[in-house]
Amino acid sequence: MKFSLEHKSAVVTGGGSGIGKAICLAFAEQGAMVHILELQVEHANETVKAIEIMGGRAAAYKCDVSNGNEVRKAFENIAAKDQIDILVNNAGIAHVGNLEQTAEADLDRLYKVNIKGVYNCMQACVAYMKSKGGVVINMASIASTVGIVDRFAYSMTKGAVLTMTYSVAKDYLAHGIRCNSISPGRVHTPFVDGFISKNYPGKEKEMFDKLSKSQPIGRMGRPEEVANLALYLCSDEASFITGTDFPIDGGFIKLNG
């Protein structure tokens, strides 16, 4: 079976909803044991239940990825009972605003989760991968490489995710660790629905259609489509791929000129 993850164990951060949940379901369907690190552990438990209903295997761990001690303890707990073959750094938060609309507290908040959180998880993980190899996927964004209106702090963090990906890929080649990133465009998740309802009350459908049409392909992406790309990159079929960013954006980066 192509893209099989049988006999492999994956750690996915932010797997309680949206893209992270879709990745957990896709990995479990292909045979992986999925360990979910999630601040809102009740949401991770819902993902675990969905995986178990389909006959897969998963476990949930309450963890704040911005807290290095919590991350190290979570990985120690996982490594004590399972190998760690795959890490997907999916947990992240957003902020809307340009430079002047970004307070120092906003910058610090995004840094802690989107940059430090990725750093914490990769540092904890590579110690367990160095002896046998592994795969790391970091969730970047189209904002890593192109300018997005009113996304100053978010773009800053996702640019850092991209360059951390390149650095880790280069530094751990000899250890058999592959490291790539995925850069989604606008994907229809509960976050998008919440953002629209909060900022455009009474105009939800109008704004949803407008945001959908901002993608050249004419619609938003689906979490499952991002999950399928992550599945490929973590499978043995992608064993010749490392140090690369993969846009999945409906043509946004190249066709929006």
- CATH number, domain at 147? 3.40.50.720
Catalytic residue among 61, 119, 128, 154: 154
**Residue 197 covered by a domain:** no
78-134 pLDDT per residue, tens: 999 999 999 999 999 999 999 999 999 999 999 999 999 999 999 999 999 999 999
* Distance in angstroms (rounded) separating the CA atoms of residues 131 and 211: 45
Cβ atoms of residues 169 and 178 within 8 Å: yes
Using the structure block, give the residue that is written with the tokens 């970004």: 102
* Distance in angstroms (rounded) separating the CA atoms of residues 253 and 256: 6
Count of domains observed in the chain = 1
Single pTM value for the model: 0.96
**Residue 190 covered by a domain:** no
The boundaries of the domain holding residue 126 are 9-185+221-247
**Residue 17 covered by a domain:** yes
39-82 pLDDT per residue, tens: 999 999 999 999 999 999 999 999 999 999 999 999 999 999 99
pLDDT at residue 194 in the model: 87
Q: Is residue 257 predicted with pLDDT exceeding 90?
A: no
Q: Is residue 196 predicted with pLDDT exceeding 70?
A: yes
Strands (E), 63-139: 86-89, 134-139
User: Is 61 one of the catalytic residues?
Assistant: no
| Angle at alpha carbon of residue 152, lines to 147 and 155, rounded to 5° | 60
CB atoms within 10 A of CB 156: 18
**Residue 201 covered by a domain:** no
More confident residue, 256 or 77: 77
* Distance in angstroms (rounded) separating the CA atoms of residues 116 and 98: 22
